[in-house]
């Protein structure tokens, strides 16, 4: 069930959102507000129907302690600017003082609870904390796809005490990712990067039977190259994943899926903007250097394959994109996908930030707000935050 399926007028509605926005170090200013903007349809839907909107979210990893730089005041300020109405932040996320503020809310008001992860009970999914959250509202709406793979009090526990439905963003995420699993238009490519193969194994195994191409870049390419006995120097290699990478290569070959690895890479003698860089073929990687990006021939190869495709799922950068001179591969691929006549789905987390900063997010078919959640969903696994919601007809 979604928020459209219930009466919200004059009700206090607790909405779990994902306001875990990136903050600029030092200034604490929001670096990218796309996660805030992503839930605007649900917030506006509730305001327009005279609900009393109570938002709750985490920010960062305070590990059950109050950390001032992870307070949500900066988020409330930005949301207030976007909505054009005041958004008040409570001093805590639960307790009698917070309950009094929630009770005084008028129809159409928006209230933001303080960071739920300031309480250790949140991540432990303790019933007492979930009940304290539930006391604030009449209805619960989960619109935090980015946290839907977590069994926390604010995503799962609270659903035991309130009627619980999906928000409009959560619904959109499930539909967009579900469609590429159920009926993708072929040819279908999965473009995978980022540092580790370990967090993508289940997803790769689940989609092997559905894709035509798997293109591997980023740090995880080093593990695949190592599995083919190439020297990868000081690159990050997950030693316990080398055999698995070799097995995945065999599995794709058996199924007629093309697994495409880099043919050249950018290597560097350090991880800074001052590092000396060079482009080499994968046969000529020095033992003293590390892979930091895909090379121009690889960009060309990947581009040729992707231009044939009608569906592309992309998760993980092609290099260490935080350092501009190691970001060329990621940028080139992003620009290619933005102009592709295909369904392009971007797996969340850092990828959402990358395409937004590049000004290309609007040119993609769908940009997911959840990194870990999208990988788990595409691995065919249940998301606890979604499973806990009411079904139509229940």
Encode pLDDT of 259-309 as tens digits. 999 999 999 999 999 999 999 999 999 999 999 999 999 999 999 999 999
342 within some domain:
yes
Q: Average pLDDT of the chain?
A: 95
**Phi and psi (nearest 5°) for 57?**
-155, 165
Q: Tell me, what's the pLDDT at 196?
A: 87
Angle, to 10 degrees, between the axis of helix 242-255 and the axis of helix 220-227? 80
Confidence (pTM)? 0.90
Q: List active site positions.
A: 35, 196, 349, 372
**Pair (91, 222) in one structural domain:** no
Closest CA relative to residue 14, chosen from 149, 130, 128: 130
**Pair (227, 251) in one structural domain:** yes
Q: Which domain holds residue 41?
A: 3-171
**Pair (345, 263) in one structural domain:** yes
Which of 120, 142, 171 terminates a domain? The answer is: 171
The CB-based long-range contact list for 221-225 (8 Å cut-off, 24+ gap) reads 221/193, 221/261, 221/262, 221/265, 221/291, 221/294, 222/291, 223/197, 224/197, 224/249, 224/261, 225/261, 225/262, 225/282
**Pair (205, 136) in one structural domain:** no
Q: How far apart, in Å, are the Cα atoms of 203 and each of 151, 192, 206, 247, 369?
A: 20, 11, 5, 15, 17
> Domain total for the chain?
2
Residue 18 in 3-state DSSP? coil
* Cβ-Cβ contacts under 8 Å for 210 (sequence gap 6 or more): 181, 184, 188
Report, as ranges of residue numbers, the positions in the chain whose pLDDT lies below 70.
348, 394
176 within some domain:
no
CA distance 249 to 227: 9
40 within some domain:
yes
Q: Tell me, what's the pLDDT at 25?
A: 86
CATH number at residue 40: 3.40.50.1260
**Pair (98, 207) in one structural domain:** no
pLDDT digits (tens, 9 = 90+) for 326-351: 999 999 999 999 999 999 999 867 88
Angle, to 10 degrees, between the axis of helix 350-357 and the axis of helix 328-338? 70
392 within some domain:
no
């Amino acid at each position: 069930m979604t928020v459209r399926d219930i009466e919200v007028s004059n009700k206090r509605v607790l909405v779990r959102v994902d306001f875990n926005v990136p903050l600029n170090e030092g200034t604490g200013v929001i670096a990218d507000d796309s996660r805030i903007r992503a839930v605007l349809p649900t917030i506006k839907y509730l305001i327009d129907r005279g609900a009393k909107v109570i938002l709750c979210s985490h920010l960062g990893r305070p590990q059950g302690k109050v950390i001032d730089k992870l307070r949500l005041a900066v988020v409330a300020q930005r949301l207030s600017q976007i909505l054009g109405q005041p958004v008040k932040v409570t001093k805590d996320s639960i307790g009698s003082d917070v309950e009094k503020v929630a009770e005084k809310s008028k129809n159409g008001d928006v209230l933001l609870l303080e960071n739920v992860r300031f309480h250790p009970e949140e991540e432990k999914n303790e019933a007492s904390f979930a009940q304290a959250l539930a006391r604030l509202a009449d209805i619960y709406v989960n619109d935090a796809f980015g946290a839907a793979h977590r069994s926390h009090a604010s995503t799962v526990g609270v659903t035991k005490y309130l009627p619980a439905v999906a928000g409009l963003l959560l619904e959109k995420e499930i539909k967009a990712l579900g469609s590429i699993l159920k009926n993708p238009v072929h040819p279908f490519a999965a473009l995978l990067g980022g540092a580790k193969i370990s967090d993508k194994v289940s997803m790769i195994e689940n989609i092997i039977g559905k894709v035509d191409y798997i293109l591997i870049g980023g740090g995880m390419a080093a593990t695949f190259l190592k599995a083919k006995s190439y020297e990868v120097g000081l690159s990050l290699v997950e030693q316990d994943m080398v055999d698995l990478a070799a097995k995945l290569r065999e599995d794709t070959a058996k199924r007629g899926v093309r697994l495409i690895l880099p043919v050249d890479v950018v290597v560097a003698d350090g991880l800074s903007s001052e590092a000396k860089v060079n482009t080499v073929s994968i046969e000529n990687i020095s033992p003293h250097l590390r892979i930091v990006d895909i090379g121009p021939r690889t960009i060309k190869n990947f581009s040729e394959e992707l231009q044939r495709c009608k569906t592309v799922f992309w998760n993980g950068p092609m290099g260490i994109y935080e350092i501009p001179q190691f970001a060329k591969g990621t940028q080139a691929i992003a620009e290619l996908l933005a102009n592709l006549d295909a369904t392009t789905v971007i797996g969340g987390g850092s990828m959402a930030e990358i395409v937004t900063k590049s000004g290309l997010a609007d040119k993609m078919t769908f940009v997911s707000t959840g990194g870990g959640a999208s990988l788990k969903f595409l691995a065919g696994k249940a998301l606890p935050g979604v499973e806990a919601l009411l079904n139509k007809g229940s």
